[in-house]
Amino acid sequence: MLILAIESSCDETAAAVSRNGREILADVVYSQAEMHALYGGVVPEIASRQHAEKVSLVAEQALRRAGVRPQQLDAVAATCAPGLIGALLVGANFAKACALALDVPFIPVHHIRGHVAACYVAFPRLEPPFTALVASGGHTVILDVGDYTRMTVLGASRDDAAGEAFDKIARVLSLPYPGGAAMDRLARQGDAQKYRLPHAQVQGAPFDFSFSGLKTAAVNLAHNASQKGESVDGPALAAGVCRAVAESIAPRVVQAALHCSRRAVVAAGGVAANSVLRRSLEQQCSAAGLALYLPPLHLCGDNGSMIAAQAYYEYLAGNTGTSAQNCYATMKASECVAKAQ
């Protein structure tokens, strides 16, 4: 089954062509990051316009690289939730129009389910059940994945996502947007013990997070230093933040897996590229006897392959959409986008 999948939920316009879900024939990502970097964060209106300008080019390029003609496609998929609503609508409407013109099914895909599916691409033999961490710019969530299209949210961030905290702290360190990867690199030369930073636990909710305290504490450290005419130790602050994020996330993911009697853990999303978090997950999963699946860095951030892979399983489960399919800015990964009203 050949699927063309479109991803446009935030600031990447992406398209991929897959055969039977996991075999990726082409993957094209156009990143708008440079454009948004001028403003220090994603500007929704600019994101939508950029998607509108690039979506058909990116899709054409993916088809050409895959050596697939549009008429050979069996379905067209797109991310329909969650994300920036204007951005989602561009990709979804493009995909719906393609499906209509080709007379093939349209498959709406949940972005967070897509992040999990990046691991199906990276690990051909991986199958549910497992526990999944999705940590990105917009979400930090722990899922119990019972099956490809059946999952329960065990916990999530109550406020900022881990990636959002990274990006805001990076800004006060004068690192370009998005700052997560730059913080990761800067942290390598820093003393992670120098600054005391709060963790992200939530009292009475063992699998939930709150990253706003960490973000505010780190931003205040930098501001207080500059008010005194001093400068904060950037590498030490970056190292401290990476450590606090890893120490907040890794034990909770392991606890969640043990709580659900799962034997495997999957991590995905842009923040899953963080080297300190990856090391913590490796150490803690190994100590708990859990198998860990960490996708390569290019599959951590937003891409079309992950949407193409999840689309295949949504299709098998009968979760196809109609031309009336809508998009949603927020939606839990436990909900089915095709059935949403």
Residues of the shown chain interacting with ligand KG4 in the complex, contacts defined by CB under 6 A: 10, 136-138, 163, 166-167, 178-181, 184, 269-271, 273-274, 301-302
DSSP state at residue 31: E
Interface residue list for Zn ion (CB under 5 A): 136, 302
How far apart CA 188 and CA 182 sit, in angstroms, is: 10
Residues 79 and 308 sit within 8 Å (Cβ to Cβ): no
Residues 24 and 32 sit within 8 Å (Cβ to Cβ): no
| Partner from Zn ion, ligand KG4, none contacting 184, C-beta within 5 to 8 A by type | ligand KG4
The least CB distance from residue 234 to Zn ion, in Å, is 27
Q: Given the complex with Zn ion, which of 247 and 302 has the nearer CB atom? A: 302
| Partner from ligand KG4, Zn ion, none contacting 180, C-beta within 5 to 8 A by type | ligand KG4
Q: Given the complex with ligand KG4, which of 95 and 307 has the nearer CB atom? A: 307
| Partner from ligand KG4, Zn ion, none contacting 179, C-beta within 5 to 8 A by type | ligand KG4
Q: Given the complex with ligand KG4, which of 73 and 120 has the nearer CB atom? A: 120
Residues 241 and 192 sit within 8 Å (Cβ to Cβ): no
The least CB distance from residue 138 to ligand KG4, in Å, is 4
Residues 88 and 138 sit within 8 Å (Cβ to Cβ): no
Residue 313 corresponds to which amino acid?
Y
How far apart CA 220 and CA 151 sit, in angstroms, is: 38
At 130 the three-state DSSP class reads strand
The least CB distance from residue 34 to Zn ion, in Å, is 18
Q: Given the complex with Zn ion, which of 200 and 306 has the nearer CB atom? A: 306
Q: Given the complex with ligand KG4, which of 96 and 168 has the nearer CB atom? A: 168
How far apart CA 43 and CA 218 sit, in angstroms, is: 24
Q: Which of 135, 129, 163, 167 is nearest to 148 (CA)?
A: 129
The least CB distance from residue 101 to Zn ion, in Å, is 28
